[in-house]
C-alpha cells in the first residue's frame, strides 16, 4: 500500500464507502441553502431555485480538512397547505432518519421561534449529534444575539454568516467533530450487516419486496451482537445472511404524491443511496422504463454504490412484453450493462431468492482489489496491443497505475500527456473485461505529467 498512500493528497475521489451524511435543517429563510453553498465551497445558486420545484440534486459532496462528507440540503421545499411548522418538523425527522449528524440553522437576528422549539424536541428524541448554527451574524454587533440561542439547550451556538463566510471554519470544525470517527485508510470489509437500500419510483413494488423478504426472516435486533440500528432501518436475513435495509420506514410509510412529498421522496431516495453500500433499484417490468427509473440508477452510479436492478412484477410479463423489455434494456440501459440484474415477482415470490446472490455479487465487485502488480501487467498488455494514437507528434502513454480505493474500485493512471476520452473509455472497458466488476461503477482517474 505504501506506494499509493501519497495519492490521497490529490485524490479528491471521495470514494470511501463510509462517507458520513450531514443534514441541514431549519425554518425557511434562515439561510440553509446559502450555508450549504458555503460549506460545499460553491457560490452557485441553490438559493435561486424556484420554490416547489423538485431539484434533482439534493445532496452534495463536501470536504473539510481532508475529510469527505455529504451535505443534504432540506431547504428546497415549499410550504404547502399543511403549514410551515409541520413541514419543518417533518424535515427534521427526515434528516434524523437519514443523517449521521444534523446541522440546525437558526436566524440569530430573528431569534428563537416556536417552530425552532419544536424542532429541538424532535432532535432531542433522536439523539443524533446536532450542531447549532446561529446564522446571519454578519458582524460583531450581532454576536450577542447568537449567544441567546444557548437557550435552545443544544449546546454552543456557532455564530456564522453564511453570506460572508464569517465563522464558517469553526462551524465546519464542529461538524467534523460531530461526525462518527473517520474510517481507517486501509479498506477492510466492515463488521456488521451490509447496508442495502431498496429504491425506485412509486408503485414498482418496493414495499412488497421488503415485506416478502422480511416475511421470510426478520432479525430481532438484539440477536446480532454489536449492532445498533436506526429506527428507520430493519435487519433482514436473506439467504442466511443478515442485511441492514436502509430507511425502511420511508418505504413502509408510503409517502403521498403531493408536490412537497415528491420532493421528500427524492430527498429520501438520495439519502438512502448515500447511506447504502449496495442499492437495489426496483423497476416495474410490466411497464415501459421511464426517465425516472434511469435517473435513480444514475444517482446510484454517481454516488459510487453497487447496483442491482430488480425487474419486478415479472408475473405480469408475457413473451411479447419480455421481447420489448429486452429491447428497452439494450436501448436505455447500455450505460448500466455492468449492473447485477434479477427478474423477480414480489407478489408470487418468483426468484426473489436470487436477490441475495445478486447483492453479494455486486458487493463483491464493489470491494474487489486488484494488486498493483496485476494491474500494471494488464496495463502493459494494453499499451503493447493498443497504444494510444499519436497526437501532434506526441504519444500519450500510461506509465503506471494503481487502485487507490475499493468500494467502488477507483483507479489512478499516471500518464505522460493527456489521454483522450475515447482511449480512457477503452481502458475502462478492458478493465471490466479483465477483472469483472459486475454490479459496481468503476472510476478511472488520470494524473498527467506533461
Residues lying near ligand GDP in the complex (CB under 6 A) are found at 26, 28-34, 47, 75, 135-136, 138, 161-163, 200, 202-208, 251, 312-313, 315-316, 345-347
Nearer to ligand GDP, 30 or 424 (CB): 30
Question: Rounded to the nearest 5 degrees, what angle is found at the Cα of 414, between the Cα atoms of 411 and 420?
Answer: 85
Min dist CB 282 to ligand GDP, Å, is 6
Number of other residues whose CB lies within 10 A of the CB of residue 133? 30
30 labeled part of a ligand binding site: yes
SS3 content of the chain, % helix, strand, coil (to 5): 40, 20, 40
Nearer to ligand GDP, 137 or 419 (CB): 137
Nearer to ligand GDP, 248 or 415 (CB): 248
28 labeled part of a ligand binding site: yes
Min dist CB 168 to ligand GDP, Å, is 10
286 labeled part of a ligand binding site: no
Beta bridge partners of 412: 402, 445
Nearer to ligand GDP, 241 or 253 (CB): 253
Cα distances (angstroms) measured from residue 368 to each of 178, 202, 436, 440: 31, 33, 9, 10
Q: At what angle do helices 114-126 and 84-98 cross, to 10 degrees?
A: 20
Min dist CB 247 to ligand GDP, Å, is 12
Nearer to ligand GDP, 138 or 262 (CB): 138
335 labeled part of a ligand binding site: no
Element (H, E) at 325: helix 319-332
Min dist CB 201 to ligand GDP, Å, is 7
Q: Are 199 and 269 spatial neighbours (Cβ–Cβ below 8 Å)?
A: yes
54 labeled part of a ligand binding site: no
204 labeled part of a ligand binding site: yes
Nearer to ligand GDP, 135 or 440 (CB): 135
Min dist CB 165 to ligand GDP, Å, is 9
Residues 6+ apart with CB under 8 A from 155: 130, 132
Number of other residues whose CB lies within 10 A of the CB of residue 125? 10
Residues 6+ apart with CB under 8 A from 186: 1
Q: Are 300 and 288 spatial neighbours (Cβ–Cβ below 8 Å)?
A: no
249 labeled part of a ligand binding site: yes
Min dist CB 129 to ligand GDP, Å, is 21
32 labeled part of a ligand binding site: yes
**Residues comprising the binding site for GTP?**
26-33, 73-77, 135-138, 200-207, 247-251, 312-315
Amino acid at each position: 500500500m505504501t506506494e499509493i498512500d501519497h495519492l490521497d493528497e490529490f485524490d479528491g475521489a471521495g470514494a470511501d464507502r463510509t462517507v458520513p451524511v450531514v443534514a441541514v435543517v431549519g425554518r425557511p429563510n434562515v439561510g440553509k441553502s446559502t450555508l450549504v453553498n458555503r460549506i460545499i465551497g460553491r457560490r452557485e445558486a441553490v438559493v435561486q431555485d424556484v420554490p416547489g420545484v423538485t431539484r434533482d440534486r439534493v445532496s452534495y459532496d463536501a470536504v473539510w480538512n481532508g475529510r469527505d462528507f455529504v451535505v443534504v440540503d432540506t431547504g428546497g421545499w415549499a410550504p404547502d397547505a399543511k403549514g410551515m411548522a409541520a413541514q419543518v418538523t417533518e424535515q427534521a425527522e427526515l434528516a434524523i432518519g437519514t443523517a449521521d449528524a444534523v446541522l440546525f440553522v437558526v436566524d440569530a437576528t430573528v431569534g428563537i421561534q416556536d417552530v425552532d422549539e419544536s424542532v429541538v424536541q424532535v432532535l432531542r428524541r433522536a439523539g443524533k449529534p446536532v450542531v447549532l448554527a446561529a446564522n446571519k451574524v454578519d458582524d460583531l454587533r450581532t454576536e450577542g444575539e447568537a449567544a441567546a440561542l444557548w437557550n435552545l439547550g443544544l449546546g454552543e451556538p456557532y455564530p456564522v454568516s453564511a453570506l460572508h463566510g464569517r465563522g464558517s471554519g469553526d462551524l465546519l470544525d464542529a461538524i467534523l467533530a460531530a461526525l462518527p470517527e473517520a474510517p481507517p485508510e486501509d479498506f477492510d470489509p466492515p463488521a456488521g450487516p451490509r447496508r442495502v437500500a431498496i429504491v425506485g419510483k412509486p408503485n414498482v413494488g418496493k414495499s412488497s419486496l421488503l415485506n416478502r423478504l422480511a416475511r421470510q426472516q426478520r432479525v430481532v435486533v438484539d440477536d446480532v451482537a454489536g449492532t445498533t440500528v436506526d429506527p428507520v432501518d430493519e435487519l433482514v436475513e436473506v439467504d442466511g445472511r443478515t442485511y441492514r435495509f436502509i430507511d425502511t420506514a420511508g418505504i413502509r410509510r408510503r409517502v403521498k404524491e403531493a408536490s412537497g412529498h415528491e420532493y421528500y421522496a427524492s430527498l429520501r431516495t438520495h439519502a438512502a443511496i448515500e447511506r447504502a453500500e449496495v442499492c437495489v433499484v426496483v423497476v416495474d417490468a410490466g411497464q415501459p422504463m421511464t426517465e425516472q427509473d434511469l435517473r435513480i440508477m444514475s444517482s446510484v452510479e454517481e454516488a459510487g454504490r453497487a447496483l442491482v436492478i430488480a425487474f419486478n412484477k415479472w408475473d405480469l410479463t408475457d413473451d411479447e412484453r419480455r421481447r420489448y423489455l429486452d429491447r428497452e434494456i439494450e436501448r436505455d440501459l447500455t450505460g448500466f450493462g455492468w449492473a447485477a440484474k434479477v427478474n423477480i415477482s414480489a407478489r408470487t415470490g418468483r426468484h426473489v431468492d436470487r436477490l441475495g446472490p445478486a447483492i453479494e455479487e455486486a458487493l463483491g465487485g464493489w470491494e474487489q482489489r486488484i494488486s498493483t502488480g496485476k494491474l500494471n501487467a494488464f496495463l502493459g498488455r494494453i499499451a503493447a496491443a493498443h497504444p494510444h494514437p499519436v497526437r501532434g507528434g506526441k504519444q500519450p502513454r500510461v506509465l503506471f497505475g494503481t487502485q487507490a480505493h475499493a468500494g467502488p474500485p477507483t483507479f489512478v493512471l499516471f500518464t505522460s500527456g493527456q489521454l483522450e476520452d475515447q482511449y480512457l473509455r477503452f481502458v475502462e472497458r478492458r478493465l471490466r473485461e479483465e477483472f469483472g466488476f459486475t454490479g459496481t461503477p468503476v472510476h478511472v482517474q488520470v494524473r498527467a505529467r506533461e
